[in-house]
Structure 1
Amino acid sequence: MVGKLTTHVLDTAQGYPARQMKVELWLLGSDGERQLLKTIHTNKDGRTDTPLLADEELKTGIYELIFSVGDYFAKHIDNLPQPAFLNRVPLQFGIADPNSHYHVPLLVSPWSYSTYRGS
C-alpha cells in the first residue's frame, strides 16, 4: 500500500467546498524546529489536485496543517466583524504509519471548525 496525506475543506456556513483556501503544511521536529513543506490552495472541490505528501515523502512524524480561513471568509461573506473570530486554523496530527492514507478534512465556518481522520 502506498501512503499519502490528503485534505478537504468544506465551508459549512455556505454549504459548499471551500475553493481557493490557502493551506500550509509544516513538519514539526522533536527539537521544536518547524519546516514548511508546502503551501497550496484548494481547488473547486475544496481539495488539493494532488496529495500533500505521497510515497517516500510521507514519513513518521508530527505535522501541522494551517488553513487560512480568515482570508477565505473575508472574500466570501460580507459584513464579517474585524478582526475575524477565526483567522488561521492550525491542526497538528501524527503520522504513525507512512504506508497508510491519512485524510485530514476541515469543516469550517467563520465561528467554528471540526476535523477528524477521514478515509
Structure 2
Amino acid sequence: MSSSPITCHVLDSSIGKPAAGVGVNLHWQIRHASATCRGHGSTNADGRCTDLLSGNQPLAHRDSLKLEAGGVYKIVFETKDYFDKAGKATFYPWVEIPFIVTNPDEHHHIPLLISPFSYTTYRGS
C-alpha cells in the first residue's frame, strides 16, 4: 500500500500493456501562478507510480506530504521520453492533468491511457 496521497497508473493502449518508465512530476499551484514541484518519480513495470509524495522524502520536504483543501495540483507525464525509448513518434510531448483537491484526507489516483496520438484520463479510486 502506498503512503502517498496521490498516485497514478499509466497504460499504453497502443500495445495493451502498462507503460513502464514514464517520468511523472507533481506540481502544486495557486490559481494561475507558477507551479511548485512537490514530487517526482517514474512508473514501475506495472505502470504505477505510488511514491510521488511519500515518507521517503527528505525531512525538509515532509510538509509536501500534506494536501490542501481547494488546492490546485497538476500531474505531468513525460510521454515523449517514453515513446522515444520505444522508437515511436508521438504528437504529445507531455500530458498535463490539473485537478482540485476537495478533501485532503481522501486518496487521489489518476489513471492515464496513452498512445502516440491520443490520451484519456479519469479520476480513479
TM-score if structure 1 supplies the norm length?
0.85
Higher RCO, Cα 8 Å, sep 6+: 1
Instruction: Confirm or deny: 8 A CA contact 1:9 1:106 kept in the other structure.
Output: yes
The residue number in structure 1 matching 2:5 is: 4
Segments of structure 2 that go 5 or more residues without pairing to the other structure are: 56-64
Cα offset, 1:46, TM superposition: 0.6
Counterpart Cα distance in 2 of 1:49 and 1:64: 16
Q: In the TM superposition, what whole-angstrom CA distance separates every residue of 1:59-94 from its partner, at most 9, and x where no partner exists?
A: 22000111010110111144x3xxx31111100001
Counterpart Cα distance in 2 of 1:42 and 1:94: 22
Cα offset, 1:101, TM superposition: 1.4
Instruction: Confirm or deny: 8 A CA contact 2:38 2:53 kept in the other structure.
Output: no
Counterpart Cα distance in 1 of 2:14 and 2:87: 9
Cα offset, 1:54, TM superposition: 6.1
Range with greater deviation from structure 2 (32-41 or 106-115): 32-41
The residue number in structure 1 matching 2:92 is: 86
1:46 and 1:32, CA in 2 relative to 1: closer, same or farther beyond 3 A? same
1:58 and 1:117, CA in 2 relative to 1: closer, same or farther beyond 3 A? same
Counterpart Cα distance in 2 of 1:85 and 1:3: 31
Task: Give the residue type in structure 2 aligned to 1:25.
Answer: L
Instruction: Confirm or deny: 8 A CA contact 2:7 2:50 kept in the other structure.
Output: no
Task: Give the residue type in structure 2 aligned to 1:44.
Answer: A
TM-score if structure 2 supplies the norm length?
0.81
Q: In the TM superposition, what whole-angstrom CA distance separates every residue of 1:34-53 from its partner, at most 9, and x where no partner exists?
A: 10111211111111243x33
RMSD of aligned residue pairs (Cα, Å): 2.0
How many residues are matched?
A: 113
Q: 1:70 aligns with which of 46, 58, 80?
A: 80
Segments of structure 1 that go 5 or more residues without pairing to the other structure are: none
